A and B are shown apart, each in its own frame.
Chain A
Amino acid sequence: MMYAILIYGESGVFEQLPKAAQDKVMAGHSGLQQALGARGDYLSVKLMPPSSAVTLEPAVDDTTPPLVLDGPFAETKESFLGFYAAEFESLEDALAHARRISSPIARIEVRPIHWAGGVLSTEREDVGMA
């Protein structure tokens, strides 16, 4: 069964951490990535801060285009920071993996995946203006 490991927290807190604490977090993530990579395909995503987002509001009917808003508005509560997706043997297995990236100020949600497709990576991505 595929599961998503969803990470919620306050945007910008990681960047505020002292280097040693950042390294510890990164060690957790690279450990998880290695473990998942050794078993097969997986997806890992870190989102940019919410302020870089643009929102499409639901269209009122099918003749009106959706309203485009700059960003989600100022939120002091936690936001969606990123996620993993992979095949796990069981819920217990998924939870055991999620524990590797648990930290004092992030909320982690483990949720089964109904459907997934596509192939995605920024590793080979080129910077362009277009």
Chain B
Amino acid sequence: MSAWLEASFATHRPRAIAALTRVFRDIDLAEEAFSEACLKALEDWPKRGLPRDPFAWLLTVGRNAGLDRLRKAARRAAILDANKDILDMTGDAPPPDPDALRDDVLRLLFICCHPALTRQDQLALALKVVAGLTVGEIARAFLVKPKTMEQRLTRAKKTVAATPVPFETPAPAERARRLGEVGLMVYLMFNEGWSGSEGTVQIRPALCDEAIRLARLLLELFPGVSEQAALLALLLFQHARAPARIDEEGGLVALEDQDRTLWNRAMIHEGLSLLQKAERSGANGPYRVQAAIAAQHAVAHTAADTDWAQIEALYSTLYAMQPTPVIRLNLLAARARTEGPDVALHEMEALATDLSGYRWFHTMRGALLLETGDPESARAAFEAALDLGPTGPERAAIREKIALCKKSS
């Protein structure tokens, strides 16, 4: 029973914390109040049955629990200063206006994107406050000690408290800006879990799962913002491949070598529906284009079935929006399939300075040189990649390629 209720609390948490933060103007108190409401629910619901509106129940009980604490605590003065009518509240908490609630959830996430925080601390704070992960879980996700994470979170909370974000309804342009920042944070949270920055752990599924949950939340709150549907579609396409990405020895399996029957079909289907929905309401931003690229891979039954011409065209579109060397490199990876490795290798020369420190530049060059029948140069390229400190599974994959070059030369 409690596993069920806890799962239910987790889905209510972002909205409840956002609504309680509006009441108390204090994130810590909102978190404490919500935890207390959940404890009461664990006692009360099994006895009396599920309330008709569990969210409203949690909100009323949470608000009253927070008020009790406030009446006793020294925090009173500071909080009452910001919100002086608060102690007069009685009875049921009024159901929050849906528009105000979604701006409150957005605000809460936007607070976590505070520019004074490092990207990792932004993610850690969102995982703690919004997703409700324990400090231990977050520490594990970032491969640090729980105590270190605890200190980092405390410091992060102090930093964000120092520059409060106003509670007024944001103007449409400001709302769009916040949504853009928050969407980017969700995207980076997924990537952090997907690629891993240090050590031998390559994939940290907790980060990917939480990023997908947050992307779902944003889409629920802003169903009319089609780039949000595209972002969720993109993450689902990527995550669908997770079961095929790591082999039994913990090695990383390249996209073209993955057993595609292991891909999660339900996620791919959901991604396709969301992408179509996003496209019919006019999405054409970077997430839409990236999702469309991921979709092309997702629907190809074998690597050989991949429609590289479509992918090349989509990367050209993406490059026009974001002219970065890495996107150019992806475009050339597709071009190597449509026009051959020589063309791609030639065009890659222009990127050599910008991407000399980027492992994938060298591994891609190595693979293309091997294809053109130049194992000696290929080997040099793979060795350059090895010098750039790849993580465990990636290192093993590069070593394998070097062995292959030696055999071919």
Interface string of A90-111 (1 = CB under 8 A from B): 0000000000000111000000
Q: Give A48 to B272 CA distance when docked, in angstroms.
A: 12
Q: Give A52 to B220 CA distance when docked, in angstroms.
A: 9
Which secondary structure dominates where chain A touches chain B? loop
State whether A105 touches B8 (Cβ < 8 A): yes
Q: Give A51 to B219 CA distance when docked, in angstroms.
A: 6
For residue B396, CB closer than 8 A to chain A, the reply is no
State whether B224 touches A51 (Cβ < 8 A): no
For residue A12, CB closer than 8 A to chain B, the reply is yes
Q: A48-B270, A129-B272 are in contact. Are A21 and B3 (CB under 8 A)?
A: yes
Chain B contacts with A in 195-250, Cβ cutoff 8 A: 213, 216, 219-221, 223-224, 226, 229, 232
A10 nearest in chain B by CB position: B11
Total number of A residues with any Cβ neighbor in B under 8 Å = 32
How many contacts A-B (CB < 8 Å)? 96
**Of A29-37, A56-64, A70-78, A81-89, the one touching chain B:** A70-78
State whether B265 touches A17 (Cβ < 8 A): no
Q: Which of A20, A51, A71, A103 has the most CB of B within 10 A?
A: A51
Q: Which residues of B contact A113 (CB under 8 A)?
A: none
Q: Which residues of A contact B102 (CB under 8 A)?
A: 74
Q: Give A125 to B13 CA distance when docked, in angstroms.
A: 36
For residue A128, CB closer than 8 A to chain B, the reply is yes
Q: A10-B11, A52-B270, A52-B277 are in contact. Are A103 and B4 (CB under 8 A)?
A: yes
Q: Give A128 to B54 CA distance when docked, in angstroms.
A: 39
State whether A77 touches B55 (Cβ < 8 A): yes
User: B-side interface residues toward A, CB under 8 Å?
Assistant: 1, 3-8, 10-12, 15, 46, 50, 53-55, 98, 101-102, 213, 216, 219-221, 223-224, 226, 229, 232, 265, 268-270, 272-274, 277, 280-281, 295-296, 298-299
User: A-side interface residues toward B, CB under 8 Å?
Assistant: 10-18, 20-21, 48-52, 54, 69-77, 103-105, 127-129
Instruction: Give me 18 A-to-B residue pairs in the complex whose CB atoms sit less than 8 angstroms apart, sorted by A's number.
Output: A13-B10, A16-B7, A18-B3, A20-B3, A21-B7, A49-B216, A52-B270, A70-B277, A72-B223, A74-B101, A74-B102, A76-B12, A76-B55, A77-B53, A127-B268, A127-B272, A127-B298, A129-B299
